[in-house]
Amino acid sequence: MSLTRHFSRGRDLARTAGDHAGDMFAPVTLIGRGLRSHADWAKGRWAATPKERRGPTVFLTAAALLGIALLPHGPLFALIALMASAAWVGREPKAAPAPAPDVADLKLTALYAALTPYLGGFDDAAPLYSLDGAYKTAFDSWQFDEEGRLTALELRYPPYFTDTEPGARARIEQVVQGKAGRAREYLFDWDEESNRLKIGALAPLATDIVAQPFVTAPGEIVLGFTDGLGSRRTIPVSQGGTTAQQPPVVWRTGARAAEPHLLALGAAGYGTSSLLRSIALQALPHGDLVVIDGAGTGEHACLVNRPGVHTVETSLHGALAALEWAAKETERRLTALNAARHHGVPAPADVTRPLWLLLDHPTELSELAHAEGRQDPQDLLEVPLRHGRAARVTVVIADDLEARDRISPSVRATTRARVLLGPAGPEVAQEALGVPLDIAPAAQTPAGRGYARLGAATPVRLQVPVTVDPLDDEAQAGHRDAVIALLPHRDTRTEAPVHPVRLSKEPSAGRPGPVW
């Protein structure tokens, strides 16, 4: 016991001696900390002094030190003043910089506050969203990228929120995109049964895929390319000098197609004419074309006199004649196909070969026809639209988004494959695609960027291949060459016999010579 007592007393004496030593060296530590602070301040001032002023600064400092040294007891007073200043500055350790606020807390708190007016139930006893609430009560999971941008979020909303109304959904989507950033697209997955909303940022689609032969079956048309969510199928494409696998948006046409006709609407300059050229280049190896250019800008002049292209019309007179021939050709095909089935013989090749009617901005011709008191060209599409699937006639219409009100009801009712290109609001997107769009578009979109909906399927993102007008001198040479390489020639195309029908006595405005 005595030995243990001696050890305890020795330990207490050592601790006391250490405390006294610490108290003894405390002033030295204090002054040393202050001197280091003065040295850092001097280094900072010297680094901030311009080079042209450093010489005069050194001279003035030396003069001041010399003046202090010449004064009686000057060095002693200067040393005392320096020690006192160092002790004053070093009396407390330098405070550590305040930690940067968490980006997730800042952005999620702002998003929670922005959603409160729309999702908050002020009569609810325990609301998920309230003015004094916290985002962790409603947000289940979230994810940010390295740049601090929101990439994924899952939140809960009250059961009384009207999640079945497109307008209510659109307000929530606009708020989320405004707080998360409008530079990207966001996919909104509404789980109405569980009152949950999953939000995910979508990666941009590839914009460097040019016109080229695509690996597809006969009757399949590649409208463009999407992401893994929009298509589980991939095809090899030439992209940036290498071969890559990209998921396409494939539109299936033909006698058994569920969506035999297509309507594409887009803002000016966002690629509806490029989409029409891309479809034409894919259809020509297996079918024949009639092209109506209602805008009259010559966007499809590269197809003039090409094998398989019956005519390229730009005038109202030529368009009416071409569409009258198309209606009669549809009836002739139906008669020949029914006769072949009745006699049990194969149908002639000229009625089984696909016929494509491509109309670019037909509403321009409709206005001109109304002004002149003539028949609307859209009325002549009634027969090809209603009986085109059985007669192997496919109608593709591309027009401006602002002209959607001038499209005839019969065209709207029979074109179940839809494409929307360019920026559009929620109401316009729903009107163009037929269903609400649960993808919030980015503020800035490239040309050819939009959405596609085939029949009753969910709309998917779409990027149309770069298919420029080869006669456009402002287009890149590589893009023009890619389109020229796909244009058919007489020695490379096998044509089926075509039933001759004279369209007009006058030459077409889009091509010289007689029209047949």
| Domain shared by 375 and 271, yes or no | yes
Residue 299 lies in a domain: yes
3-class secondary-structure state, position 194: coil
The CATH number that applies at residue 414 is: 3.40.50.300
| Domain shared by 350 and 373, yes or no | yes
| Domain shared by 162 and 274, yes or no | no
| Domain shared by 162 and 196, yes or no | yes
Residue 151 lies in a domain: yes
Q: What was the pLDDT predicted at 489?
A: 80
H helices of 271-372, in order, are 272-283, 316-343, 349-352, 362-372
Q: Which residues are annotated as a binding site?
A: 266-273
Residue 227 lies in a domain: no
C-beta of residue 201 within 8 angstroms of C-beta of residue 186? yes
Instruction: Measure CA 264 to chain center.
Output: 18
Q: How many helices (H) and strands (E) does the chain have?
A: 13, 17
| Domain shared by 263 and 284, yes or no | yes
Residue 165 lies in a domain: yes
Residue 353 dihedral angles phi and psi, to the nearest 5°: -75, 130
DSSP code for 228 = T
Cα separation, 461 vs 224, in Å, equals: 9
| Domain shared by 475 and 355, yes or no | yes
Token pair, residue 413, equals 């009712």
Residue 364 lies in a domain: yes
C-beta of residue 499 within 8 angstroms of C-beta of residue 329? yes
| Domain shared by 472 and 329, yes or no | yes
| Domain shared by 85 and 192, yes or no | no
Residue 49 lies in a domain: no
Residue 241 lies in a domain: no
Residue 509 lies in a domain: no
Q: What was the pLDDT predicted at 515?
A: 35
- CA of 266: how far to CAs of 131, 271, 365, 421, in Å? 42, 7, 18, 4
Give the residue carrying structure tokens 């947000």: 139
How confident is the model over 210-258, as pLDDT tens digits? 999 999 998 999 999 999 988 989 999 999 889 999 999 999 998 888 9
The enclosing H or E element of 488 equals: none
Can you state the angle between helices 362-372 and 316-343, rounded to 10 degrees?
110
3-class secondary-structure state, position 510: coil
| Domain shared by 166 and 294, yes or no | no
Q: Which residues are annotated as a binding site for ATP?
A: 266-273
The enclosing H or E element of 39 equals: helix 2-48
Bridge-based pairing of strands 417-421 and 262-266 is parallel
C-beta of residue 307 within 8 angstroms of C-beta of residue 281? no
Q: pLDDT tens, position by position, for the chain (516 residues)? A: 444 444 455 555 445 544 444 444 466 676 777 777 777 777 777 777 777 777 787 777 777 777 777 777 777 767 777 777 766 766 665 555 545 557 888 999 999 999 999 998 777 878 899 988 899 999 999 999 888 899 999 999 999 999 999 889 999 999 999 999 888 999 999 999 999 999 999 999 999 999 999 999 989 999 999 999 889 899 999 998 899 999 999 999 988 889 999 999 999 889 999 999 999 999 999 999 999 999 888 899 999 999 999 999 999 999 999 999 999 999 999 999 999 999 999 999 999 999 999 999 999 999 999 999 999 999 999 999 999 999 999 999 999 999 999 999 999 999 999 999 998 888 899 999 999 899 988 888 899 999 999 999 999 999 999 999 999 999 999 999 999 999 988 655 544 444 444 444 443 444 333 333
| Domain shared by 125 and 78, yes or no | no
* Number of folded domains that form the chain: 3
Name the residue among 470, 513, 492 with its Cα closest to residue 300: 470
| Domain shared by 297 and 187, yes or no | no
Token pair, residue 499, equals 């039933």
| Domain shared by 412 and 472, yes or no | yes
The domain containing residue 110 runs over which residues? 103-202
